[in-house]
Amino acid sequence: MIGRDPHGDMPVLETKRLRLRRLTMRDARDVFAYCRDPEVARHVLWSAQRSVGEARAYIRSMLRRYRSGEPASWGIEWKQTGTIVGTIGYMWIHSEHACAEVGYSLAREMWGKGIMTEALRCVLEYSFGVLRLNRVEAIHEVDNPASGAVMRKCGMRYEGTLRQKLRNKGRYVDVDLYAILSGDARGDGVSAGAPERKA
């Protein structure tokens, strides 16, 4: 379900358990609560936060993106408690080619509950149904297979391994690339399956 954000043009997206909304400065302590965890930060390009001030700085950067209309992330609000437990959003969007990359992170205590699958499905629905994108892709480090499982559950297809694509915390890492096309999402595309990565 899609609602409108009263504070701007970025929509509020809702699922049964989640509300995807713009971050605000009031969310700083929630963001710090999970971003301080080294396990949460292990496979993303940012380091574990050391203070609430770092969480505030991150939120300020996101607020600038909201104001300028740049690709940005939603905060993932757990409806049951009203707390922010993660983020999901666009790393980039190429309007000319109608494609985008999504990325996400989630508090460790929320892992294994299908939360990120629920959030990603919602964002893909918005990407194809509202933004009219043709392709959405995502990457994950090869030693983070749980992230690939989320992508496959949402119908994304493994397209290959990009060797030493990123430098993360002092080391070059291989990443797996997944993508889904608008035709796949409608069920009329030529690539209807979502095979697992081949070792």
Distances (CA, A) of 198 to 145, 159, 172: 12, 10, 21
Q: Specify the pLDDT at position 100.
A: 97
List pLDDT tens digits, range 125-149: 999 999 999 999 999 999 999 999 9
Size (the chain), residues:
199
Q: Specify the pLDDT at position 47.
A: 82
Q: Which domains does the chain have, with CATH numbers?
A: 2-134 (3.40.630.30)
Whether the per-residue pLDDT at 7 is higher than 60: the answer is no
Strand order across the 171-181 sheet: 2-3, 12-14, 18-21, 73-78, 83-94, 99-106, 135-141, 171-181, 157-168
Q: How far apart are CA 38 and CA 143, in angstroms?
A: 15
Give 144's DSSP letter: -
Q: Where are the alpha helices (DSSP H) in 42-144?
A: 52-68, 115-129
Give 106's DSSP letter: E
- Provide the whole-model pTM: 0.88
